[in-house]
Structure 1
Amino acid sequence: MSLLKKSLIISAILAAYIVVVAFAVDVNTGNNVCDVSKKTLFNGTQNPNGECVTTVMGEIPSKDKMVSTIIRFPKDGDTVQENQPFTIVTKTINLSAGFFDDPATQYYSFPQTLDDQGFIQGHSHVTVQQVVDENEPFDPQVFAFFKGLNDPANGQGELSVLVDKGLPAGKYRVCTMVAAFAHQPTLMPIAQRGAQDDCTRFTVVQQNNKRSLLSKLLRRK
């Protein structure tokens, strides 16, 4: 078979593939998805029943300015005392923090934007969930603590929040959720990358449990 015939066959296959994909995208996930969707059109509120959002994605940073986060406290294996205040500390790079719209009336209402240096303008969140089963996904509707980190970061890129009432004894997972201005997850320029968020697992221990154990042992003597 000549090279020309091979090229024509390949071109025909590609053309057919493009037609099929284009048709499927137009019906299911094209830019007109909200015209054909059965979901309610969004209005800036958080709809627990789901909705269809028409806001465009907006500005995407270059790959050398992608977001990355680490949880500085609590780290994996750390312990804190039950029902005692403690501070969650995170550090994020390549985020212009402090940009936060009203989630009650402007949820998903604005595209992602970049500042003059090309960094995403946004904010972060932390969410803490109790570990029920290490081998099963967590129920996203159940959490022990949640807070938006809306302020600008300090000079080291750190954001923090006080868990003012502490937590009951148990095992927990804390995760960050970095977001753009209108609370949508940050959008990156390439698919193959490191995660922009972090999670750690820590333990909340009963107060003075070591002292209680010691006193029990002494009483036995």
Structure 2
Amino acid sequence: MQQEADSARRKRPVALITGGGRGLGAAIARELAPGHRLLLGARTAAGLESILAELPDATGWPVELTDYDAVAAAVRPIERLDVLVHNAGIADLGTIAESSVRQWRETLEANLIAVAELTRLLLPALRAANGHVVLINSGAGLRAHAGWASYAAGKFGLRAFGDALRLEEPALRVTSIHPGRIDTDMQRAIVAGEGRAYDPNQFLRPETVARTIRTAIETPGDAHPTEIVLRPR
């Protein structure tokens, strides 16, 4: 029986989720776990301890995504990848007048360049599976707001990256998800920086966004979900 269970597990599609240790990434992991073999990314192994205790069949994939030599080594064993969910990112907010070259570089590096490089390195594995790339974008990738310039620039660039990837790799499906603000620890930090009281009811639930992502992934193969926009009600 155990051998049959192991064989069935090996036949399940493989999904890699970056930023999979907490917040939206952990919610996506929970949503995909029943039907996928999961690789869960985070900067450190410690950042994955909680979700791996919850999902013991998942495999940790700790790597700093802006350390490109380390990323190249980490992807080498992955020969086939059905789903790649780019969830990791940072939000270093502030006005243009208050911004710095460091802020712009770090934000674009984490939210755009690292995504492009990880995708590039995984293209052979994605092609082998006719895979699906899911880009967790933002409402800021459709409309910039004051105080969000560097973040929005990265997300606008991420949308363009997805559009180009869709054209260059027609065997893959590429979905850009544009959620509004989500009830996560990152959101709490943003709201605290804005000097406002935190009301979780103002924001999307991570589980709602995760369910939408699973629906996109499970869309029958005759359809290509290219962009999905979610807003809090």
Q: Same fold (TM over 0.5)?
A: no
TM-score calculated relative to the size of structure 1: 0.23
- Structure number with higher relative contact order (C-alpha < 8 Å, ≥ 6 residues apart): 1
Larger radius of gyration: 1
Report the structure, 1 or 2, having the larger helix content. 2
Report the structure, 1 or 2, having the larger strand content. 1
TM-score calculated relative to the size of structure 2: 0.22
